[in-house]
């Protein structure tokens, strides 16, 4: 059973390597993540230029969070495994791990949004582990040590942005919908 799982993860790694999307996927993930709260921005009666500004700033901040995550992975890879690499080439290879983030727009779904967000972020982390094994031959256990600090950095930055802006928007939306239903 475990051997079959490892074989499946190795084939997934080869598929991710074939994608070779690079750093360009960062912006797409950021846009998907910022689009997930578009309804809340509309409910707060923001004008279209204000909504666009919020979404662009959020997309850039979220893209920066994942870029910092990837750079943290590269530092940990150099420190723990002694693999010399250039951060931009590493980021280009690891960019394919972020493709589940394109589905982050689904987090706008009511009641299950937190579960979807956690599942997508865990999927991204699994993709990073698979790519570390496929590209650098690092075992999954060592990959956990390499990828965990960057994953925590990304979770903290994304969490701060959500807590600061988006939760407030969702609370206002929920109050307005409840008032309309009464």
pLDDT tens for 41-92 read 776 777 888 888 888 888 888 888 888 888 888 888 888 888 877 777 777 7
Closest CA to 72 of 21, 140, 158, 148: 148
| Chain segment 103-140, per-residue pLDDT in tens | 888 877 767 777 888 888 888 888 888 888 888 888 88
What is the pTM for the complete model shown?
0.73
Half-sphere CA count of 91, side-chain side, radius 13 A = 19
Give the range of the structural domain holding residue 73, as residue numbers without chain letter.
2-181
Q: Count the domains in the chain.
A: 1
Burial of 86 (0-12, 13-18, 19+ CB in 10 A): exposed
């Amino acid at each position: 059973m475990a051997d079959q799982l490892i074989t499946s993860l190795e084939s997934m790694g080869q598929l991710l390597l074939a994608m070779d999307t690079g750093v360009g996927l960062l912006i797409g993930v950021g846009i998907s993540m910022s689009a997930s709260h578009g309804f809340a921005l509309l409910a707060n009666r923001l004008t279209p230029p204000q909504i666009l500004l919020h979404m662009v700033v959020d997309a850039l901040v979220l893209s920066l969070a994942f870029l910092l995550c990837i750079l943290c992975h590269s530092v940990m890879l150099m420190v723990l495994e002694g693999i010399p690499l250039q951060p931009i080439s590493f980021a280009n290879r690891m960019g394919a791990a972020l493709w589940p983030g394109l589905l982050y727009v689904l987090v706008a779904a009511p009641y299950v949004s937190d579960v979807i967000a956690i599942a997508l972020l865990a999927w991204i982390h699994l993709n990073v582990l698979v790519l570390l094994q496929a590209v650098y031959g690092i075992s999954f256990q060592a990959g956990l040590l390499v990828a965990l600090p960057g994953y925590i950095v990304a979770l903290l930055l994304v969490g701060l942005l959500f807590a600061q802006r988006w939760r407030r928007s969702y609370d206002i939306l929920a109050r307005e919908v409840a008032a309309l239903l009464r």
